[in-house]
Structure 1
Amino acid sequence: MTFKSLLDIDCGIRFMYDRLPLSSSSARTMLLESRAMTSKREIDLRYGKLNSLYNKECREIASKLTCLKDISNTIGRLGAGAVLDDIELFEIKYLATVSRDVAELMQKKRISVVNLPDLGDVMKILDPDSLNIPSFYIYDSYSSELAAVRKRMKALTGLGDRIPDENQARELAGLQQKNDELEEGVRRELSLKLSDKAGKLGHTLKNLSLLDIMIASVAQMKEMGLCFPAVVENGETFYKGMFNPAVKEAVEQKGGRYVQVDISFSRLPVTVVGANMGGKSVVLKSLALNQILAQFGLGIAAQTCCVSIVDKILFCIGDDQNAEKGISSFAAEMLAVNEVVEGVSRGENMLALLDEPARATNPIEGTALVEGLLDVLQHAAGSTILATHYNIVNRNVKRYRVAGLKEGKMDYSLIETESGDVPHEAIAIAQQLGVNKEWIESTKKYLN
């Protein structure tokens, strides 16, 4: 799972990515191309580093990283023996300059979350006159012959308004050609001297980008009230006070109050029941979001939590009908759920989140399909959370229901329950929405 491949999951991960205050384009590229961590040791190490940064003032460092660009192609060309042009040599020098400045700030602030190699030898090569500026130029000090050619060219071009005669023009053209040849020779020599430093240049770029990601992550944690997770392998996942920042912001912008939820699960399938508009889909979205955040070392949207590592996330939500492919809602849904079943049969350690499977068919067969699915999921290596409208009698599941309407207001919190019955709140919710009274009264006759 790459971060980029997960961005289109409708769970709020793009919202989190867009709100992550990364300073550099290099860090953004690194995050998008990074793969989910699946080792507890690796994830714990990342969060340990974030924790050590949490109380540090990092704005100066973030400012230094603002102009850091992804020059991995340039570094790759250098390592392959290519002759770099002036722009590429400038990129190398600028990277060395940023690394030096950031290293000094890290030492001053006692930050040691990444190791930045000493690029002093690179600076000596690209700054022979010790001017200590990030720009690059093929200096005269690289070649006495080049310096002499440039001096003569300057003399010939410093004639004021007088146009050079034919001999001077011919000499100037020859000098320009010689200048170009000598400059190319300098570029070749510099590239050769730098080629064996490509490895540590790449390491520097990677670690500066990672530092940027970690600083941005800590800033986001503070801004959104995110937490550090405990992480386990093949254990119980639990969230206390779980929320979805994108949904929370939307609710609060409308003057509403967002309700955080508590939930826990392991290998036993979990069902979440409740009326429409009861928040079941938001629970699934929040679980998907936080699983992604945890395995990419970002802050978790909860008060406290413990997350079990998975190798794969499958999130089945919404209407996937495709007229062009001739696939109905039900067919698309069955194929998506079947991917979960096939994954279970292969023993994949996955987090499967299913929003009302089999809803696109009749209730009798739909209920049977869900009951049968829960039987199959008993053998899952990972975890499955399934939101449904159907009354489920399967005993080998853990059950939650949305608290529902209380005194005319919806309580979105989750309650663990023994019953698989779905709350009958559709009519009450419809009344709250202000639908036609005649329709409501006519409907009630069929419920009695």
Structure 2
Amino acid sequence: MLDKQQQAAIGFAYIIENLQTCSPFGEELARHTNAYPCEENARLCRELENVRLLAETIRSDAAREALSAAERALMQLKDVRRSVARSREMTLTDVEFFEIKRFLIKLDALAEAFSKIPCGERLNEIDIHPLPHALSIVDPDGMRAMTFRVSDSASAELAKIRRERKRVDAELRRDPVEGRDALEAERTLLAAREESEELRIRTEMTRAFAAYSNEAEQVIKCIARFDFALAKARLMCSRGGSIPKVYANGQRVLLNEMINPQTADALHSSGRKFTPVSIELLSGSTVITGANMGGKSVAVKTLALNVLLALCGFPVFCGEAELPHFAGIHLLCEDMEDSLGGLSSFGGEMIRFDGILSEIKTESTALVLLDEFARGTNPHEGAALVRAAVKYFNNRRGCFALITTHFDDVACCAPMHYQVIGLKNVEPAVLDAALAGNDASRASVLPKLMDYGLYRVASDVNPPRDALAICRAMRVSDEFMRCVNAEETKQ
């Protein structure tokens, strides 16, 4: 799957940062989320169903109060997992008992709120219930106070020692005090006896609580899953999206009207709008052609993001999504390259590409995304490399490859071919009028005229010639463009 750098590049880290989990358990689950392995497709589908049910509940006015109560309770939970685990190994301290007692009291409130959520009983692998027997161990008096001290009722000996300490303390507060040294020695002795008795009682309490530690840990896991799923559902409701269909033996990737929230937000801040992208991939190679500023890279990253989200149990930012349960996602694009110890960018790209070829041999299904593959060499050799890649992936069973390129005679080798719409639908007069300003204004206006959507074309259709149109639109030197026109005429 994609590494952390690649996840950040496609906008996955941005999604995680924008999740609003309420508890430390849900936050940790979100921070360490991973794609479900193929053998856990059923679990993935159950998680997606949980998100769907919670999104449906969020949209219901009748459930608003119960959800708000559950979220308030989640926010008040502290992480007690270390103390719970320690109860099986050593005697807990007063502070640890306080943390556990507070957690169990807050758990009561969460369990009550959870029981009132309409879809609560239908959520898969989520059972949030109170632990009354465990609570009675750490709060034997049933006062439910947010403090902890070994109670006098825990043993007659402890109660007797504390009464004696109170008597001695009262005598020491009198002034003057006769026999102060003897009283202070007695107080020291009583304090030691009290500490010893409290330790004995805490050891017994620890042993008693440890019997419920496994159940407590299971409830905490359920809390984490609930919090995480609820955050994903809220994200889906606030940003729009849908629940993907992820099939164990899927035969196609279908993503309609997909967006990339990170890119969309960046465009929105500059007064522009993200163009939703729709695409279908079948086993083998699919090629996207278009001008270098035509949005091919955005399409690749948007597809990578939404596929990864689906495999991690997230809603996707699409109108509709269907895909196989991929064993691996592999991405090779320009902004993730480095010199690899002095190698050229092309050399580094080839090393990574070879690594991808090795990895997909062990994967039953794989998604391979190559953005402007082999652009770092001359066009003749670059086109040959891309054609070879297209043919190679055509013959790899279970491999879905998406390759973007501006080289000619590549798409003809692929079963499916898409082009970026670009300036195709912009009338020349409209383009000239919009770009009539100075250099700075032309640079800002042109992207607004570009249509970054995709449309399917025949495999033998050559890449669009937007590059020259862009040069003319940007008012590149007339003298230079006459040279370009002369060269174009020769071809």
What's the TM-score bracket when you normalise by the shorter of the two chains? over 0.9
Shift of 1:440: 4.6
Counterpart contact for 1:320–1:333, Cα < 8 Å: no
1:351 aligns with 367
Letter in 2 for 1:403: I
Alignment of 1:190-209 (within 5 A): 190-209=205-224
Structure 2 gap ranges (5+) = 58-62, 432-448
2:60 aligns with none
1:277 aligns with 293
Counterpart among 426, 430, 455 of residue 415 in structure 1: 455
Shift of 1:163: 7.7
Deviates more, 1:213-222 or 1:4-13: 4-13
- List per-residue Cα deviations over 1:132-171 (Å, max 9, x = no partner): 2343322222222222222322333344474861111111
1:251 and 1:122, CA in 2 relative to 1: closer, same or farther beyond 3 A?
same
Counterpart among 402, 411, 414 of residue 420 in structure 2: 402
2:154 aligns with 142
Shift of 1:420: 4.8
1:30 aligns with 29
Letter in 1 for 2:464: P
Letter in 2 for 1:377: F
Shift of 1:193: 0.4
- List per-residue Cα deviations over 1:221-269 (Å, max 9, x = no partner): 1110111112212321101111111111111221112211111112121
2:17 aligns with 18
SS at match of 1:373: helix
Shift of 1:276: 1.3
Task: For 1:259 and 1:44, locate their aligned partners in 2 and report how far apart those are by CA, in whole Å.
Answer: 29
Counterpart contact for 2:296–2:404, Cα < 8 Å: yes
- Asked if residue 88 in structure 1 is aligned to residue 86 in structure 2, the reply is no
Shift of 1:351: 1.4
Q: Normalising by the residue count of structure 1, what TM-score does the alignment of the two structures yield? A: 0.92
Q: Normalising by the residue count of structure 2, what TM-score does the alignment of the two structures yield? A: 0.85
Task: For 1:258 and 1:321, locate their aligned partners in 2 and report how far apart those are by CA, in whole Å.
Answer: 26
1:152 aligns with 164
Alignment of 1:114-129 (within 5 A): 114-129=126-141
SS at match of 1:403: strand
Task: For 1:216 and 1:433, locate their aligned partners in 2 and report how far apart those are by CA, in whole Å.
Answer: 45
1:443 and 1:59, CA in 2 relative to 1: closer, same or farther beyond 3 A?
farther
Counterpart contact for 1:95–1:205, Cα < 8 Å: no
SS at match of 1:269: strand
Counterpart among 262, 266, 270 of residue 278 in structure 2: 262
RMSD of the alignment, in Å? 2.3
1:426 aligns with 467
SS at match of 2:417: strand
Counterpart contact for 1:7–1:14, Cα < 8 Å: no
- List per-residue Cα deviations over 1:412-434 (Å, max 9, x = no partner): 11111113522111233345556
Shift of 1:47: 2.0
Letter in 2 for 1:168: L
SS at match of 2:314: coil
The structure whose residues are more often helix, as a share, is 2
Task: For 2:162 and 2:471, locate their aligned partners in 1 and report how far apart those are by CA, in whole Å.
Answer: 84
Task: For 2:322 and 2:163, locate their aligned partners in 1 and report how far apart those are by CA, in whole Å.
Answer: 70
Shift of 1:9: 3.8
- Asked if residue 223 in structure 1 is aligned to residue 238 in structure 2, the reply is yes
1:176 aligns with 191
Counterpart contact for 1:341–1:377, Cα < 8 Å: no
Task: For 2:6 and 2:20, locate their aligned partners in 1 and report how far apart those are by CA, in whole Å.
Answer: 17
1:28 and 1:163, CA in 2 relative to 1: closer, same or farther beyond 3 A?
farther
Sequence identity of aligned pairs in percent?
25
- List per-residue Cα deviations over 1:377-397 (Å, max 9, x = no partner): 121423111111212154343
1:33 and 1:18, CA in 2 relative to 1: closer, same or farther beyond 3 A?
closer
Counterpart contact for 1:64–1:101, Cα < 8 Å: yes
Counterpart contact for 1:347–1:380, Cα < 8 Å: no
- Asked if residue 362 in structure 1 is aligned to residue 371 in structure 2, the reply is no
SS at match of 1:128: coil
- Asked if residue 130 in structure 1 is aligned to residue 142 in structure 2, the reply is yes
Shift of 1:442: 4.7
- Asked if residue 100 in structure 1 is aligned to residue 108 in structure 2, the reply is yes
SS at match of 1:290: helix
Counterpart contact for 1:267–1:381, Cα < 8 Å: yes
Which one has the largest radius of gyration?
2
2:488 aligns with 447
Counterpart contact for 1:29–1:70, Cα < 8 Å: no
Task: For 1:163 and 1:357, locate their aligned partners in 2 and report how far apart those are by CA, in whole Å.
Answer: 93
Task: For 1:320 and 1:257, locate their aligned partners in 2 and report how far apart those are by CA, in whole Å.
Answer: 25
Letter in 1 for 2:69: E
1:29 and 1:435, CA in 2 relative to 1: closer, same or farther beyond 3 A?
farther
Task: For 2:176 and 2:358, locate their aligned partners in 1 and report how far apart those are by CA, in whole Å.
Answer: 82
Counterpart contact for 2:242–2:319, Cα < 8 Å: yes
SS at match of 2:72: helix
Counterpart contact for 1:320–1:332, Cα < 8 Å: no
Shift of 1:213: 0.7
Task: For 1:300 and 1:5, locate their aligned partners in 2 and report how far apart those are by CA, in whole Å.
Answer: 19
Letter in 1 for 2:310: A
Deviates more, 1:407-416 or 1:157-166: 157-166
Task: For 1:133 and 1:213, locate their aligned partners in 2 and report how far apart those are by CA, in whole Å.
Answer: 30
2:446 aligns with none
1:200 and 1:433, CA in 2 relative to 1: closer, same or farther beyond 3 A?
farther
Shift of 1:104: 0.8
